[in-house]
Homo-oligomer: A and B are copies of this chain.
Amino acid sequence: MRMRSGHFVMADEGWPGCAKSLKGVILDMCGVLYDSGEGDGVAIPGSIEAVRRLKESDLQLRFCTNETQATREKFVAKLQRLGFDISASEVFPPAPAAIAVLKDRSLRPHLLVHDGLLPEFDGVDKTNPNCVIIGDAAEYFSYQNLNEAFRVLIGLEKPVLFSLGQGKYYKETDGLKLDVGVYMKALEYACDLKAEVIGKPSPTFFQSVLNDMGLQSHEALMIGDDLLNDVGGAQHCGMKGVQVRTGKYRPSDERHPTVMADGTVDNLAQAVELILNQRRR
């Protein structure tokens, strides 16, 4: 910021300078830690070590994901098999948040989600549904299944649609795949409604992670591969947001008309190296 006196000062430390005053880091998972695909997918080079280094530092660390193809337990077990030192209590996915909302508002869902996520909803009353929840159902997004969800919604006097994220697409080892947000828009248009997003970039969702760390938003940094949902969502809550050039990153992200990352790095390993270097000074 240029002061009137003509002196230059750093009014608000940018990236990576801001790392000095950080108290916590939140990491996106798919596209930052690993690329999904056949079997467990593959770890992104340097990410296993980067997570280990963050854990050894004085920073708090949480994982915030829109992953909805498996229960939290199975998802974390996969990450552990890939070599990551991560426990379930550190991971925040949308499904548990959705279940809390259902309970709070006495709603019974019709589920259009991946088969792998169904056990998460075992204890939830799904009879005579009065809302619809969609997740990243992938191949379960058949015409028949989408039509079924549509008919539930159009038959309700006050249709309520929850979307576990609003991502457009993600990268698997064999290419880009359409994400839940695309089907959310489809149902929004079909039923003339606006979905409630549970997961990133919902401020409520980010806030629940900050609450768990006991931090203010300006004390935390989000690192993700999704410019809108990770970086933009975190910035909207007052956090810093850094994008990695892995996962679904595309060069055009760096000239996006409305969202500008605080920093862009080649990968998580580089981000962690820069953060820890700043804090050593």
Which residues of A are interface residues toward B (Cβ below 8 A)? 137-144, 146-147, 150-151, 154, 168-169, 175-178, 181-183, 185-190
Contacts and interface: CB of A to CB of B under 8 A. Distances in A.
Contacts of A138: 143
Contacts of A143: 137-142, 178
A184 to B, nearest CB: 8
B151 A176 contact: yes
Contacts of A137: 143
Nearest to A142: B142
B175 A182 contact: no
A146 B178 contact: yes
Contact of A176 (B150, B183, B187): B150
A68 to B, nearest CB: 15
A188 to B, nearest CB: 8
A189 B176 contact: no
Given A181-B189, A189-B181, A169 B140 contact: no
Given A139-B143, A144-B139, A150-B169, A182 B178 contact: no
A182 B151 CA distance: 14
B176 A182 contact: no
A214 to B, nearest CB: 36
B189 A147 contact: no
A155 to B, nearest CB: 9
B182 A168 contact: no
A147 B183 CA distance: 12
A183 B178 CA distance: 12
Contact of A190 (B139, B146, B147, B178): B178
A182 B189 contact: yes
A254 to B, nearest CB: 15
Contacts of A190: 168-169, 178, 181-182
Contact of A183 (B139, B186, B188): B186
Nearest to A175: B151
Nearest to A191: B168
A154 B176 CA distance: 9
Contacts of A168: 189-190
A138 B169 CA distance: 22
A26 B182 CA distance: 35
Contacts of A147: 176-178
19 contacts: A137-B143, A140-B143, A141-B146, A142-B143, A143-B178, A147-B176, A150-B169, A150-B176, A151-B176, A178-B186, A178-B190, A181-B189, A182-B186, A182-B187, A182-B189, A182-B190, A185-B185, A185-B188, A186-B186
A25 to B, nearest CB: 30
